[in-house]
């Protein structure tokens, strides 16, 4: 009998002591009402400097099918995500942020599409970003436009909640060390001929705390995107593992 989960939910967590308990309560309110999904949750605590680790250790005791990975030192969002992907056992894997900007009540819409086998990569799209400050909104628009132009694809949101089939991730060797890791998955999945589908998603804005994303982090993601663009144009580029 195959006991592997159908879907794994992966959440990197860094300095979210004010949000994580509420985020988990909202997430599990949805998951516990859908045992037929056969799910698991992977949490990666990334060396937070506040009380996030203590909160997480207490909270995970309340919830079944949950694995907590601890980074003794901060290793960054990308390494946390990669560690979560490595630990996950699901047929599908979905990234869910810890900051409560994503509304967990939308998860059934994602999972229903996956259960129907309609796509290999499912992207949430924030058509409205009312919680963004104007400067960050324009940076996001420019970022999306530039990536679409460079990679000759049409994606409306590269860095929001996403879900992937395991067969996609098994084919891809992730090299990014920045926020470009999510666009890297999308572009390589596209190059390998996997199906990509978008679904509308609400952007609620932060409930508490401050985002760790800044100009330096976004700049590094853009720099990695430009390097990947150059590599993708070379004869040595291979989207999938050999």
* 77 pLDDT above the threshold of 90: yes
C-beta of residue 21 within 8 angstroms of C-beta of residue 51: no
Q: Is residue 239 part of a domain?
A: no
Average pLDDT, the chain: 92
Residue 2 in domain: no
Predicted pLDDT of residue 135: 57
Q: The domain that contains 44 carries what CATH number? A: 3.90.550.10
For the packed helices 52-59 and 20-31, what is the interaxial angle rounded to 10 degrees? 30
Tell me if 241 is assigned to some domain. Answer: no
Radius of gyration of the chain, Cα coordinates, nearest whole angstrom: 17
Q: Is residue 1 part of a domain?
A: no
Q: Tell me which residue range forms the domain holding 71.
A: 7-232
Predicted confidence (pLDDT) per residue in 121-156, tens digit:
999 998 776 666 655 666 778 889 999 999 999 999
What pLDDT score was predicted for residue 134? 58
- The residue among 4 and 47 whose pLDDT is bigger is 47
**Is 125 part of a structural domain of the chain?**
yes
Tally of domains in the chain: 1
**Distance between CA atoms of residues 175 and 154, nearest Å:** 22
pLDDT over 90 for what percent of the chain? 79
Percent of the chain with pLDDT over 70: 92
Residue 240 lies in a domain: no
């Amino acid at each position: 009998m195959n006991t592997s989960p159908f879907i794994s939910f992966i959440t990197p967590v860094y300095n979210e002591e004010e949000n994580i308990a509420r985020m988990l309560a909202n997430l599990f309110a949805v998951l516990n009402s859908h045992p037929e999904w056969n799910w698991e949750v992977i949490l990666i605590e990334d060396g937070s400097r506040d009380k996030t680790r203590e909160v997480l250790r207490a909270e995970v005791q309340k919830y079944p099918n949950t694995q907590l990975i601890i980074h003794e030192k901060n290793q960054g969002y990308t390494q946390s995500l990669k560690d979560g992907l490595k630990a996950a056992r699901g047929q599908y894997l979905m990234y869910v942020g810890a900051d409560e900007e994503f509304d967990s009540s939308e998860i059934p819409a994602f999972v229903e599409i996956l259960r129907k086998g309609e796509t290999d990569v499912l992207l949430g799209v924030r058509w409205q970003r009312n919680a963004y400050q104007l400067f960050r909104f324009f940076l996001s628009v420019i970022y999306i436009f530039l990536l679409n132009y460079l990679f000759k694809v049409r994606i409306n949101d590269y860095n929001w909640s996403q879900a992937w089939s395991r067969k996609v991730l098994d084919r891809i060797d992730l090299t990014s060390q920045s926020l470009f890791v999510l666009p890297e998955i999308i572009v390589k999945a596209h190059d390998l001929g996997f199906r990509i589908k978008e679904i509308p998603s609400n952007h609620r804005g932060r409930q508490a705390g401050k985002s760790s994303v800044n100009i330096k982090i976004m700049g590094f993601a853009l720099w990695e995107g430009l390097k990947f663009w150059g590599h993708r144009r070379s004869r040595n580029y291979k989207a999938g593992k050999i």
